[in-house]
Amino acid sequence: MKTPSAATGLILNEPLLWEKGKKGRSAFSLPSGDVPRAPLDEAHVGEAPDFPDLSEVDVVRHYTRLSTWNFGVDTGMYPLGSCTMKYNPKINEKAAALPGFAAAHPLLPEDLIQGGLELMSELEGHLAELTGMDAVSLQPAAGAQGELAGMLLIHAYHESRGGAPRAKIIVPDTAHGTNPASVALCGYRPVPVQSSERGILSAETVAAVMDEETAGIMITNPNTLGLFEEDIRAIAELVHDKGGLVYGDGANMNAVMGIVRMGDIGIDILHLNLHKTFSTPHGGGGPGSGPICVKRRLEPFLPVPRIVRQEDRLALSDDFPDSIGRLHAFYGNFGIMVRAYSYILSMGPENLKRASQLAVLNANYIKEKLKDVLHLPYDRPCMHECVFSDKRQMEMKISTLDMAKRLMDYGFHPPTIYFPLVVNGAMMIEPTETESVENLDQFIDAVRAIVREAETEPELLRKAPAKPKMRRLDETAAFSRKGRKDRKERQKKFNRITRLR
Ligand SMILES: *Cc1c(COP(=O)(O)O)cnc(C)c1O
């Protein structure tokens, strides 16, 4: 790619200089002040940061060019399993950007944020209705933090009831990786249990390990194989009979909105991922929101502050003596709540249900259209995602990684790979409801073409991707001693550039 032109020695398609800028250039102009200059206390004036001096056009070109190197759902299909990378309607962005919401200062007195509180309170109500639960806290900043909150609630609940201590939480092998981590972070011991040959958890397996030292079970439903835990009611009953609680990981809610109410099938605590199911662009570690929804008996332990109605106004109250306390500054990530609220209202109950139905239909469509060329470890109807493996291609020494990289050359974001761990060489595809049948067909054609290439031109796959800005990264080097050293050097340089001296 970086071959210079023979005639000129210049590298084609590359900006001639990476380091741009020249002392004295500027990309901004501030309006002249309409108040007299205040004297500056020299003691408080530092040196300016070491940023390059750039003109406006330099800055615009730099960021616009960078944006074309990235892949997003606004550029193409992003079937990253377990992440629900669906298209998020721009109307929800517009709502979140309304100045009354976006510019509200978190320290405004309650009288001036009645609208914001009303929105949050109504959103809590909608989420409770959708999940069949009684009370909601919008505070957790991500799914994983919702899980931790849930574990803390389980702990607080058992403490409040006295009795012998319970130290264990059952976690099936098809749970999301954050589940055992949250269990351990809270000080519980995760007890792993295996799913059956049907890819789901059986009541017998749970019965064998559930005892009075176990605080509860944490179950992802639909699970990470994209399968619905059909025995959930029987499992919940077993756990309840022994005094335990049932935590539901509801990050996969996109499969069951308006179809299954988790509160009706035995779940006591559930988190949702607003940034997956309810319209917030995500990825790259941006802000998230993982509300927890609980049954009435767990409500006293929810994080504070909580939104309470006082006659004709709403207020934030810390007056919940049994609460597990605060999990986030202020009230959580408000902008994401606005998007979820706007999404729920603009869709309405019928369309939320239809979105889930289409998400499930799309995943099953892909599953059926690809199962003759890719190994399908669990051949049964799936929910919002389907999981293949590289078993057949490995006979030709072509791996899931090779196929995923090659998909980039066809203009698709790769699916989630090597997860869930219960499937060797897993390829987890979640198309979501926002892809049309034409897009799905293009994706299916691309995968089928890649499978053919694996037989006829395997080098194309081993060297893929050939088209995107970055070629295949050297994964071995990335984990080597030198890779670590290089990363440290880069970090140092970054710290130097960004430090305000
Ligand atoms: C994404 C996901 C999580 C974690 O959510 P974060 O917001 O990334 O912390 C947990 N469980 C499941 C099933 C998920 O898909």
Residue 11, pLDDT > 50, answer yes
Please report which confidence band the pLDDT of residue 18 belongs to, taking 50, 70 and 90 as the band edges. low
Percent over 90 (pLDDT), the chain: 78
182 or 46, which is more confident = 182
For residue 27, count other CB atoms closer than 10 A to its CB: 13
Going by C-alpha positions, the residue among 411, 407, 451, 450 that lies closest to residue 429 is 407
In a domain, 269, yes or no: yes
- Region of poorest pLDDT, from 50-54, 220-224, 316-320: 50-54
Output the DSSP codes for 3-39.
PBPTTT-PBTTS-S-SS---TT--S--PPPPSSPPPP
Residue 500 has pLDDT above 50, yes or no: no
Structure tokens at 437: 């049948």
Q: What is the pLDDT of residue 446?
A: 98
Q: Best-predicted range by mean pLDDT among 65-74, 364-373, 481-490?
A: 364-373
In a domain, 376, yes or no: no
pLDDT higher than 50, residue 501: no
Substitution candidate for ligand 1 out of 273, 387, 422 with most atoms within 8 A of CB: 273
| Best of 80, 174, 178 for a ligand 1 pocket test (most atoms within 8 Å of beta carbon) | 178
Any domain includes 221:
yes
Q: Please give the distance, rounded to the nearest whole angstrom, from the Cα atom of residue 385 to the centre of ligand 1.
A: 15
Boundaries of domain holding 337? 91-346
Other CB atoms within 10 A of residue 498 CB: 10
What's the predicted TM-score (pTM) here? 0.89
Would the CB of 82 count as within 6 Å of ligand 1? yes
CB-based burial of residue 337 (10 Å sphere; 0-12 exposed, 13-18 middle, 19+ buried)? buried
**Which of 143, 144, 136 lies closest to 120 in space, CA to CA?**
136
In a domain, 469, yes or no: no
Say how far apart CA 179 and CA 186 lie, in whole Å.
Answer: 11
Q: Is residue 121 a contact partner of residue 308, using CB atoms and an 8 Å limit?
A: no
In this structure, are residues 290 and 276 in contact, taking their beta carbons and an 8 Å threshold? no
Average pLDDT, integer, range 273-302: 93
Q: Is 23 left (phi over 0), alpha (psi -120 to 50) or beta?
A: beta
What pLDDT shows up at residue 19?
Answer: 74
- Omega cis (within 30) before 465: yes
Distance 178 CA to ligand 1 centre (A): 7
Residue of the CA atom closest to atom 3 of ligand 1: 143
Give domain status of residue 451, yes or no: no
Domain count of the fold of the chain: 1
Q: Is 372 strand, coil or helix?
A: coil
Q: What does the pLDDT average to over 465-491?
A: 80
How far apart are alpha carbons 69 and 229 in whole angstroms?
40
Q: Mean per-residue pLDDT for 15-26? A: 76
The CATH number assigned to the domain holding 110 equals: 3.40.640.10
H or E element in which residue 247 lies: strand 245-249
Q: Is residue 312 one of the residues assigned to a domain? A: yes
pLDDT surpassing 90 at residue 464: yes
**pLDDT score recorded for residue 41:** 86
- The tens digit of pLDDT for each residue in 269-279 reads 999 999 999 99
User: What are the φ and ψ backbone dihedral angles of 426, each rounded to 5 degrees?
Assistant: -65, 150
- Residue 420 token pair: 């869930």
Query: 249: which residues sit within 8 A by CB, 6+ positions away?
Result: 143, 147, 175, 176, 179, 218, 219, 220, 221, 270, 271
**pLDDT tier for residue 483 given thresholds of 50, 70 and 90:** confident
Residue 108 resides in a domain? yes
Residue of 82, 267, 292 to test ligand 1 pocket, by largest number of atoms within 8 Å of CB: 82
pLDDT digits (tens, 9 = 90+) for 141-193: 999 999 999 999 999 999 999 989 999 999 999 999 999 999 999 999 999 99
Tell me: cis bond preceding 39? Omega within 30 of 0 counts.
no
Domain assignment of residue 235, yes or no:
yes
62 SS3 class: helix
Residue 178 alpha carbon, nearest atom of ligand 1: 10
Question: In terms of pLDDT, which residue wins out, 29 or 386?
Answer: 386
Least confident window among 18-27, 101-110, 192-201, 285-294: 18-27
pLDDT digits (tens, 9 = 90+) for 342-395: 999 999 999 999 999 999 999 999 999 999 999 999 999 999 999 999 999 999
Mean per-residue pLDDT of the chain: 92
